[in-house]
Amino acid sequence: MVIVVGNPANTNCLTASKSAPSIPKENFSCLTRLDHNRAKAQVALKLGVTANDVKNVIIWGNHSSTQYPDVNHAKVKLQGKEVGVYEALKDDSWLKGEFVTTVQQRGAAVIKARKLSSAMSAAKAICDHVRDIWFGTPEGEFVSMGVISDGNSYGVPDDLLYSFPVVIKNKTWKFVEGLPINDFSREKMDLTAKELTEEKESAFEFLSSA
């Protein structure tokens, strides 16, 4: 397994995969777990629960400010019962507005506040990412991971390194299939795919002329 963290993580990961054709491209992944953890934490803060009470948030796309944190399929444990995050929060405008931009720009906000990057949070996210590859995802839960987009059912072009919801078993990831995608999500998912396509073209143009 090759895990890429250095930015631009998705395109760096795709470039690494292309440069090592003897390694299966499914063995390359990039870190979007920090964004995933931040999305869980924002929801938990808003609801007054712990981040462990929130599951199945999704980071779609690029590890950049175009990423799309999606809680349409997320669940939260409240008073011992699991409920949908939209149902629990009853605040669609926050979930479609401030929540999305807060997660997208959290890294920049941390640097601005601390004059340092969130290195410990990133280290924790790397541990989470590796642990789930090694031990698998818990039953009924999925996580976000930047992986090769080939064969996905969400209309994302092939040959991009894009963050998807995945489940992992026996050290092998699989796309979570069949999640309904609304128009708001579709637009955000397409926007981040477009950025990744442009990044990929720029990187490969540079590499071919180097």
Check: CB of residue 37 under 8 Å from CB of residue 54: no
How far apart (Å, rounded) are the C-alpha atoms in residues 42 and 54?
A: 10
For 112, the enclosing helix (H) or strand (E) is helix 106-114
Q: Is 53 left (phi over 0), alpha (psi -120 to 50) or beta?
A: alpha
How far apart (Å, rounded) are the C-alpha atoms in residues 3 and 8?
A: 13
Give the CB-side neighbour count of residue 190, counting CA atoms within 13 A: 8
Catalytic-labelled residue, pool 36, 63, 73, 129 = 63
Q: Is residue 63 annotated as a catalytic residue, yes or no? A: yes
User: Cα dist. 37→6, 18, 61 in Å?
Assistant: 18, 29, 15
Closest CA to 188 of 125, 90, 101, 105: 101
For 95, the enclosing helix (H) or strand (E) is helix 92-96
3-state secondary structure of 124: helix
- Give the amino acid at 84: G
Q: Which residues are catalytic?
A: 63
